[in-house]
Amino acid sequence: MIGQKIKSTGRQEGYGAHVDNAGNIYVKGALTEQGAVTDVDPGPGVVNITGRFYYIVKLDASGAFKWVRRMPLPNCPTVLGSDNSLYYILRDGNYTLQITKVNLSNGADSWTKSLNIPTGLNEPLLATDGNNNVYVSGQFSAPGADLDPGPGVFNMTTTFKNRFIVKLSTDGNFRGAVASPVIYRAYQLLVDKAGNFIVPYTKTGASSVGYVAKYTSTASPVYNVAQGGAPGTLYVDGSSNVYRHYKKELSKFAANGSLVWKRDILYSKFSAVTVDDAGNTYLSNREDYDLGNSTRLVKVTPGGTLGFNKPLFDYTTYATKFVIQYVIPMSLHVTSNGKLYASGVFNGTINFDPTGTNGIVNGPQSSKPLGSVFSVKLNLCN
């Protein structure tokens, strides 16, 4: 087990992490108290930052600190490309979109592209494919605009509040754009290995009925399936099967949109879910005393059967009076060689070792939820 925490005299928020092909970890978090001092190097070194700060910290495969960079907003949408490129997106005061590529060797910006499109209030979305392209999605707040962020012009005229998707190469060059006449509010943007778009959405802002739509790269519809309740959270595997997580329900849809199976996954308080390329789904819940003294790690096989349900992080054995104890995994990542990466936030004393006592870590010993950001690497076979 390898585990690290970020230490602070003030409150922290954790937003999960990305893991690249070499096992480097990119931890997202926020320091929310003015005047607090935070050491963002979880190892023996000291890299202090004072005050409010939104950040990404890079740790290598052994958990050693490499660099930290400031982010313009808390929890900016970020994606990790197949070429180990990191992208993030933000909307400025004029509601135009800026897409930035980060150099992962030093954390500096490689390039920034602006889409000068007045966009709606819905949050912008970001995705990458297996060919090192990056996709940006937003909502028109005007009848049309130029969707090429470079010197070229790609005018698109569309209905007010339609959703657009712009494709850029890894160097930020324009590769094309499409728009949907159906989607009003999109909650995610996924791109499978064939370049198809998969979007969970609602048709109106107040609608409680969710849909999942799939389009080809040229915006030809493949399927549009209504869901019970809200759209939920989607994941796609290496064969373009889609997995939907909503409350206690986990569903699998084939590449053509047909339902393969639907399962009750026991608990409703899952805070992190991931699907590996083989179609195995892994879920971890946040703290819940009804489940005993630990968070749980649940595996559901591609066929929808339970692979395992076992303890993950122990947050009650080492509890002390007047200290709030919690651990909230915000992201999971599973590698092809059987490593599980989890990142999130915790308070109190937590044992991050699911098979022994080598992972006991002291976070803030406070009756207030100050929180420390953590990142852990485990062997799934354990």
How do residues 214-255 score in pLDDT, each as one tens digit? 988 888 889 998 887 777 788 998 889 999 888 788 889 999
Alpha carbon distances (Å) from 282 to 205, 239, 253: 31, 17, 17
d(Cα 280, Cα 172) in Å, to the nearest integer?
A: 33
Q: How many domains does the chain divide into? A: 1
- The arithmetic mean of pLDDT across residues 353-366, rounded, is 88
366 domain-assigned: no
b/e string for 332-351 if b means 16 or more Cβ within 10 A? Answer: bbbeeeebbbbbbbbbbbbb
215 domain-assigned: yes
The predicted pLDDT at position 175 comes to 92
51 domain-assigned: no
348 domain-assigned: no
Name the burial class of residue 151, with classes exposed (0-12), middle (13-18) and buried (19+) by CB atoms within 10 angstroms of its CB: exposed
pTM, whole model, 2 decimals?
A: 0.90
CB atoms within 10 A of CB 355: 12
Residues 6+ apart with CB under 8 A from 171: 111
Q: What is the residue type of 163?
A: R
- Domain boundaries, position 140: 75-231
Alpha carbon distances (Å) from 78 to 53, 119, 256, 288, 338: 17, 19, 28, 29, 24
Is the pLDDT at 80 greater than 70? The verdict is yes
127 domain-assigned: yes
d(Cα 244, Cα 148) in Å, to the nearest integer?
A: 33
The predicted pLDDT at position 113 comes to 92
pLDDT band at 365 (very low <50, low <70, confident <90, very high): confident
Distance from chain centroid for Cα 122: 17
Which residues on adjacent β-strands are paired with residue 28? 56
147 domain-assigned: yes
3 domain-assigned: no
How do residues 145-181 score in pLDDT, each as one tens digit? 788 898 898 887 765 567 788 999 999 999 998 877 6
Radius of gyration of the chain (CA): 21
Q: Look at the block and give the residue holding tokens 């009848």.
A: 143
122 domain-assigned: yes
Is the pLDDT at 291 greater than 50? The verdict is no
d(Cα 312, Cα 309) in Å, to the nearest integer?
A: 9
How do residues 262-281 score in pLDDT, each as one tens digit? 988 766 566 688 988 788 99
Name the burial class of residue 127, with classes exposed (0-12), middle (13-18) and buried (19+) by CB atoms within 10 angstroms of its CB: buried
